[in-house]
Structure 1
């Protein structure tokens, strides 16, 4: 008898996300839960995060060892190797970390230049994600970054001397950026030699400094058609360079360099979220739960002390909510998602007439089992998901 396909859970990946909320400088486009770093002891928050990891163990008796650990933020590269090693030791003692697990640290270029990279490697980090954002000084100034193009290049070079698995982030589709300017910058980015690129179009959220500047008429976002032209150029250049997209915004030199932690999100796996404002998705007893920790560090620490966890409770997700989330996330990677997973939750078939129409337009692929977006479909991912969602 064939095994029944489970629609979600740790069989699709099991990760730990640690959110470090402090930054030396808050960027005007950032909509994450971040706070200005000040002279303060890291110990109270590190202690609270460690306890938060431990308290998850009895809640998750069905889970084995972790496939991935991701230290994000904020700027977790502000932490010292010994502090990172301490967090990873708690994760290992509590859940276990599988041999060969992917363990990522987000870092700023200036921190990379100062960091003890061998110390980070010894602590357990085996993948760096560096927030370069641009290789043009005028763009870096516009984006509010505290590094310049020279230090960005030097940081990537220094990181690659120690780590073979390095990802670099870029933000494009900036106001008034021309297609030739982005083509030249992307070519320069590829020449740095990192095996993974995360290439994000500038998204301006209302509550950010950029959002307020747009409301005042000080910034005019790029026209969507121009953004689409830049996106298509991105696919052409990266594919020619041997780093094709494996997800809407992510490119890798091969499967071994794809972000396994992010694939856990996209594929409907489980992850624990610890640290102020961290989100999680965990499956227990065939049910799926969403968690969100207290956002302010002081409140998060207080919750851990009072309740044993950074969040007061997890919300149970209903099957239809899970189905909608799975299709929205599952269509992002190039492999798409098995429609049976969606239909087993929604208890109704996906609209085949719409799928057929999207196939005719060249936007989706469907082999009767897996549904995926084409590169042209990626441009319309949100609209297609909305049309197909149960």
Structure 2
């Protein structure tokens, strides 16, 4: 797992900087979302570098059965901190339970945490409430409990439909179960997304086509497809270092991205972010869109990150902070009445502007050219000439990636930032 970022200390009470405080009457202007990190998994997949733990890794003092109660302590702290900063009173637009595997907790526990969020701030009438899940971690009954509690969406970690690919990724579910869980979720009234990974060592282009066709056969309205990245510190990274498996090939990954885009587009799912496709705007993941827009959010759970924009004073733009990583330390701090924050970053206006470009370039609507640093606006014409940015959109003053640009999005961003 990666180390936490460097940062300045978070006050024991979690208080936000004075310059974050909202001017009177403006607190409700910015949307607000909540992320809930559930750090438990049955096994650790060899490619995963998320802040997750199996029962054997947790050790004493980290009680999975008590996790909902612990998370609700942070919800209560968050409500106090935001109220003190004049940022309370905003209904929650989106809630996202991620992990780990949130559905390792009983559905009743997830429902209890959601009720706590509703009690603290209120859920917007049209709130989107998502949980991630593994296909082997739900039942028709548990999905109905979630839907009855106010969940609106479930995102299943399918990753592949091919057994040998799943084995390399160390995924435990039977791919034949995926159509069943999609049907169960839809019968419960939930919108459904399927998540895929491409570029796994040993995965052929035909294997990838099989996975895409299996996804489309379920009729889901949202698909995420991410290129495998072998992160340092993971089991797979060690396997690569020892020569046991090969690193993903960039040309192979590009071919698989193009195949995904072809098949998903033909099936009526359009891209709205480099790695995400939806049947229409109503099926896009609004919680992730909030991240890309720079909305406020509070991240509950060990290792979770949060962000609140600052007052527009030309110097300060916002504060981002992150919690301690281990569930045992996280629970102990909250039980003592202290913030679980491990550190925070105070963003300047220039830093926030840079992040706006980094995120805005990746979405389909793109970015206004005026958002670029004046020194980088001339680069747009060159990127259009190389087929990486849409020329028609550029004439309209928008920076929008072509498909080739999506394949090279990181390179495009580097050319558009100082």
Give TM-score, length-normalised by structure 2.
Answer: 0.85
1:130-169 → structure 2 map (5 Å cutoff)? 130-169=156-195
Match of 2:39 in 1: 21
Alpha-carbon deviations, 1:159-205, whole Å to 9, x = none? 22223410011111222323233223212211111111111111111
Corresponding residue to 1:177 among 185, 198, 203: 203
Asked whether the 8 Å contact 1:108–1:130 carries over to 2, the reply is yes
Asked whether the 8 Å contact 1:248–1:378 carries over to 2, the reply is yes
- Are residues 95 and 361 of structure 1, via their aligned partners in 2, closer, same or farther at CA, if it must alter by over 3 Å? same
Match of 1:292 in 2: 322
Match of 1:66 in 2: 92
Deviating above 4 A after TM superposition, structure 1's stretches of 4 or more consecutive aligned residues are 9-12, 38-41
Matched, 1:237 2:263: yes
Q: Distance in 1 between matches of 2:28 and 2:220?
A: 29
Q: Distance in 2 between matches of 1:239 and 1:312?
A: 43
Q: Distance in 2 between matches of 1:369 and 1:96?
A: 39
- Are residues 223 and 313 of structure 1, via their aligned partners in 2, closer, same or farther at CA, if it must alter by over 3 Å? closer
Asked whether the 8 Å contact 2:303–2:326 carries over to 1, the reply is yes
Match of 1:364 in 2: 389
Q: Distance in 1 between matches of 2:135 and 2:346?
A: 39
Deviation at 1:320, TM superposition (A): 2.2
Corresponding residue to 1:48 among 46, 70, 75: 70
Q: Secondary structure at the match of 1:218?
A: coil
Match of 1:316 in 2: 346
Match of 1:34 in 2: 52
Q: Distance in 2 between matches of 1:328 and 1:36?
A: 34
> How many residues matched?
377
Asked whether the 8 Å contact 1:133–1:170 carries over to 2, the reply is yes
- Are residues 144 and 271 of structure 1, via their aligned partners in 2, closer, same or farther at CA, if it must alter by over 3 Å? same
Deviation at 1:339, TM superposition (A): 4.2
Asked whether the 8 Å contact 1:274–1:310 carries over to 2, the reply is no
Consecutive unaligned residues in structure 1, runs of 5 or more: 1-8
Matched, 1:215 2:233: no
Asked whether the 8 Å contact 1:65–1:97 carries over to 2, the reply is yes
Give TM-score, length-normalised by structure 1.
Answer: 0.91
Q: Distance in 1 between matches of 2:379 and 2:189?
A: 45
- Are residues 269 and 298 of structure 1, via their aligned partners in 2, closer, same or farther at CA, if it must alter by over 3 Å? same
1:120-139 → structure 2 map (5 Å cutoff)? 120-139=146-165
Alpha-carbon deviations, 1:225-259, whole Å to 9, x = none? 12111111111111101012111111111111000
Asked whether the 8 Å contact 2:140–2:185 carries over to 1, the reply is no
Corresponding residue to 2:305 among 258, 279, 282: 279
Q: Distance in 1 between matches of 2:310 and 2:302?
A: 23
Q: Distance in 1 between matches of 2:395 and 2:299?
A: 35
Q: Distance in 2 between matches of 1:320 and 1:222?
A: 35
Deviation at 1:17, TM superposition (A): 0.4
Alpha-carbon deviations, 1:29-72, whole Å to 9, x = none? 11100000369743543223212122222433235111100000
Q: Distance in 2 between matches of 1:357 and 1:98?
A: 44
- Are residues 121 and 260 of structure 1, via their aligned partners in 2, closer, same or farther at CA, if it must alter by over 3 Å? same
Question: What value does the CA root-mean-square deviation take over the aligned residues?
Answer: 2.1
Match of 2:106 in 1: 80
Consecutive unaligned residues in structure 2, runs of 5 or more: 1-26
Q: Distance in 1 between matches of 2:105 and 2:382?
A: 51
Asked whether the 8 Å contact 2:40–2:52 carries over to 1, the reply is yes
Deviation at 1:317, TM superposition (A): 1.1
Asked whether the 8 Å contact 2:33–2:297 carries over to 1, the reply is yes
Deviation at 1:80, TM superposition (A): 1.7
Matched, 1:353 2:381: no
| Stretch deviating more after TM superposition (70-79 or 146-155) | 146-155
- Are residues 160 and 183 of structure 1, via their aligned partners in 2, closer, same or farther at CA, if it must alter by over 3 Å? same
